[in-house]
Structure 1
Amino acid sequence: MGVPFEALLPYGIMLGMFAFSAVSVGKLKEMQNGGKKTRRGMDAWDRLQQMLERDRRLTGFARGQTDKAEAPAGFELNNPWRMEQRYI
């Protein structure tokens, strides 16, 4: 005796919802990264917050890169590293 297809409908619905949510989360992460796939296996250099912040300020995305040789106007005064005040 076979299994009626009505018994398999809940499993199909659950599988469809899992697939929909996985695709949705993947697409959302891709949109947040400027159309690039998410980073995996980041090394110590990539984890430096200053480098990710610098890329974000230059291009608008943490994963963005630019081929311009010169920084935009005002970028040289927008340094994330704070200098100590010297005593005179």
Structure 2
Amino acid sequence: MGVPFEALLPYGIMIGMFAFSAGAVGQLKSMQNGGKPARRGLDAWDRVMLERDRRLTGFMRGQTDKPYAQPGFELNNPWRVESRFI
């Protein structure tokens, strides 16, 4: 005696929704990284370099081949200092 297909419809719907959500999350991560694969296992140096690239190009994973920084970049310092030390 076979299993009626109506009993398997909820499982098909659940598997379809898992597949759709996994694909959507993967696409969103790719879009956030400028079409590049997501980075994993970042250490402190990688985060500093990603922040530098974001300040230079506007994208976290963006890179530039310009030998000189954009105008105003010399004042765009990520270090926060108390006003009494300035």
Q: Which TM-score band (shorter chain)?
A: 0.7 to 0.9
What is the total number of aligned residue pairs between the two structures?
A: 83
- Normalised by the length of structure 2, the TM-score is 0.83
Number of the residue aligned with 2:37: 37
Of residues 73-82 and 53-62 in structure 1, the stretch that sits farther from structure 2 once superposed is 73-82
Query: 2:47 — aligned with what?
Result: 47
Q: Superposition pairs for residues 1-88 of structure 1, below 5 Å?
A: 1-48=1-48, 51-82=49-80, 84-85=85-86
TM-score calculated relative to the size of structure 1: 0.81
Displaced runs of 4 or more, over 2 A? 81-85
Could you tell me the percent identity over the aligned residues? 80
**1:67 and 1:6, CA in 2 relative to 1: closer, same or farther beyond 3 A?**
same
Q: Secondary structure at the match of 2:8?
A: helix
RMSD: 1.6
Unmatched tracts of structure 1, length 5 or more: none
Mind listing any 5+ residue stretches in structure 2 that lack a counterpart?
A: none
